[in-house]
Structure 1
Amino acid sequence: MNLFVSNISRTVNENALRALFSEFGEVASVKIIGDKYTGESRGFGFVNMLSDTQALIAIKRLENAEFFGRRLLVSKARPNVRNK
């Protein structure tokens, strides 16, 4: 299941986000979206977890959890309809 994560601190990197979500199950991939010109984090990204059950637990446990001084917003990612 692909998860949308927002309100990520600009100091968080993909390894830190992977470690956080790995507490709830196996993480297939992590992508923090960066500004296309500066590369600086835009404060949101995606975490793809292999198990839907573990992803739902991660949503429940991490929604509004403090991480690097910010309260995370975590939800199931919506499909990208632009590419369909």
Structure 2
Amino acid sequence: MKRVFAGNLPTDTTERELNDLFAAFGKVFSIKLANDVFSGQCKGFGFVEMEGHEARAAIAGLNGRELRGKPMKVNEEQPRDARRGGARRR
């Protein structure tokens, strides 16, 4: 099972819409959009869980594809420390 990051999404994106996009590449096990606490709107990113080979196909097929005029960024989820360049220093 792989967890895929989907970013640069429009703020009105729904889980159903994201599911429809990813389901074209295989079975979607779960979707979690990051939503703003106050407005309830999508913060512009979310995570999708799929089988490994299907996730790789979705990444190849959706990365850079436009969703309502915005090119999506789709890749394999990276550990939090790796995205930030290592441990935080104080």
TM-score of the aligned structures, taking structure 2 as reference length? 0.82
* Structure 2 unmatched ranges of 5 or more: 82-90
**2:28 maps to what in 1?**
27
* Bigger radius of gyration among the two: 2
Structure 1: which 4+ aligned runs deviate by more than 3 Å?
A: none
Contact 2:12 2:41 in 1 (8 A): no
Opposite residue 61 of structure 1, the aligned amino acid is: G
* Residue 64 in structure 1 maps to residue 64 in structure 2: yes
Q: How far 1:38 sits from its partner (Å)?
A: 2.2
- Given that 1:7 and 1:70 are in contact with CA atoms closer than 8 Å, whether structure 2 keeps it comes out as yes
Helix, strand or coil for the counterpart of 2:29? strand
Structure-1-length-normalised TM-score: 0.87
Distance 1:61 1:42 in 2: 23
Note the aligned Cα RMSD (angstroms). Answer: 1.3
Query: Following superposition of structure 1 onto structure 2, how do residues 2-81 of structure 1 map, counting pairs within 5 Å?
Result: 2-49=3-50, 51-79=51-79
